Amino acid sequence: MQNYPLGARSAALLRQTIMPPTVFVVSDGTGITAETFAHSILSQFNMKFKLLRVPFVDSPDKAYEAAQRINAAGETQGSRPIVFTTLVDSVSNSIVKGANALVLDMFQTFVEPLEIELNIKSSHEIGRGHKDADSDEYRGRIAAINYSLEHDDGQSNRNLADADVILVGVSRSGKTPTSLYLAMQYGVKAANYPLIPDDFERGKLPSGLAPFRDKLFGLSIDPQRLSQIRNERRPGSKYAAIENCRYEVNEAEQMMRRNGIKWLSSTHKSIEEIATTVLQEIKIERATY
């Protein structure tokens, strides 16, 4: 076989399969947003990457350390790494840009055209992305997380009037993760309330929910998938049996239709997609940034 040399392209692909290219995300803050963004860009390429976040690079010294780490990775893998930067400080930024790598500058690329458009200079202050513990935004977010925890799974009817949204659906349809995500990401007070066989027998929504019809949003789920999920928690139970899951899902969907509650199926959706649809449908007012 060694008589048939690989083409340059095949060799590159082979190397990438053996040792995925290293991608650095260099940030003066946490770099979480940049990492998520880089992940989504990289997912456009059908190959694996080794993604490394380098947070809190808030001085030229740390920028220099980061550049050395990038160069070392390049030497190890035998090709130059990919680097996403979001450094606000121009000195640190130029140090990282000096590394032997493909450097994609996620900050300057967009700040420059904005400065021209808005006709004002940007502040170049570090750490303005996340609000810290003294801000109203932060307090609102913590209050929403506490609210969602206290109003998880119909635990409390107290202060339901304060909810921005109340998710309803059968047990294990995805209400808890969605509520917590809405609270964490958006400071939205999201309660959630299960629809259970008692409700189906009575043929009515839980009585505590009646005054809040316009805040209700329903989650449903494919019965097969529901049965799988419930079996992981209570193997072989009636609760997890496929016939029971079919019954509950069918009853819950009918109840939501009868009551004019908007709902979606969570079966093939991510938490982010469900949360986005909830915000669109319930039309929750967002703050001006």
Site for a second copy in 190-229 (CB under 8 A): 225
Q: How far is the CB of 91 from a second copy (least distance, A)?
A: 16
With binding defined as CB under 8 A, does residue 113 bind a second copy?
yes
C-beta of 106 vs 205, nearer to a second copy = 106
- State how far the Cα of 27 lies from the Cα of 35, in Å rounded to an integer: 9
Distance CA 205, CA 210 (A): 7
Which residues are CB-contacts of 124 (< 8 A; sequence separation ≥ 6)?
A: 88, 89, 90
Among 61, 102, 158, 213, which residue interacts with a second copy (rule: CB under 8 A)?
102
Sole binder of a second copy in the list 1, 18, 118, 161 (CB under 8 A): 118
Radius of gyration in angstroms for the set of CA atoms belonging to the chain, rounded to a whole number: 25
**DSSP 8-state code for residue 258:** H
Q: Does 6 bind a second copy (CB under 8 A)?
A: no
- Asked if 272 interacts with a second copy (CB under 8 A), we say yes
Nearest distance in Å: CB 139, a second copy: 9
Query: Is 3 or 44 the residue whose CB approaches a second copy more closely?
Result: 44
Q: Which of 195, 189, 168 is nearest to 266 (CA)?
A: 168
Rule CB under 8 A: is residue 19 a binding residue for a second copy?
A: no
Q: 146, 273, 154, 252: which is closest to 212 by C-alpha? A: 154
Number of residues that bind a second copy (CB under 8 A): 88
Q: Which is nearer to a second copy, 202 or 233 (CB)?
A: 233
Ranges of beta strands (E only) in 17-81 are: 22-27, 50-54
Does 107 engage in binding with a second copy (CB under 8 A)?
yes
Would you count residue 177 as binding a second copy (CB under 8 A)? yes
Query: Among residues 50, 234, 257, 258, which is the contact residue for a second copy, using CB under 8 A?
Result: 50
Query: What token pair was written down for 11?
Result: 């060799």
Residue 119 C-beta: closest distance to a second copy, Å? 6
Q: What is the DSSP letter of 23?
A: E
Residue 217 phi/psi, 5-degree rounding, is: -140, 135
269 counts as binding a second copy under rule CB under 8 A: yes
Torsion (CA) 67, 69, 75, 78 in degrees, nearest 10: -90
Q: Taking CB under 8 A as the rule, does residue 21 contact a second copy?
A: yes
The correct pick among 25, 26, 29, 220 for binding a second copy (CB under 8 A) is 29
If one asks whether residue 130 binds a second copy (CB under 8 A), the answer comes out as yes
| Closer CB to a second copy, 254 or 270, in the complex | 270
The answer to the question of whether 208 is labelled as a binding residue is no
Residue ranges at the known binding site for ADP: 169-176
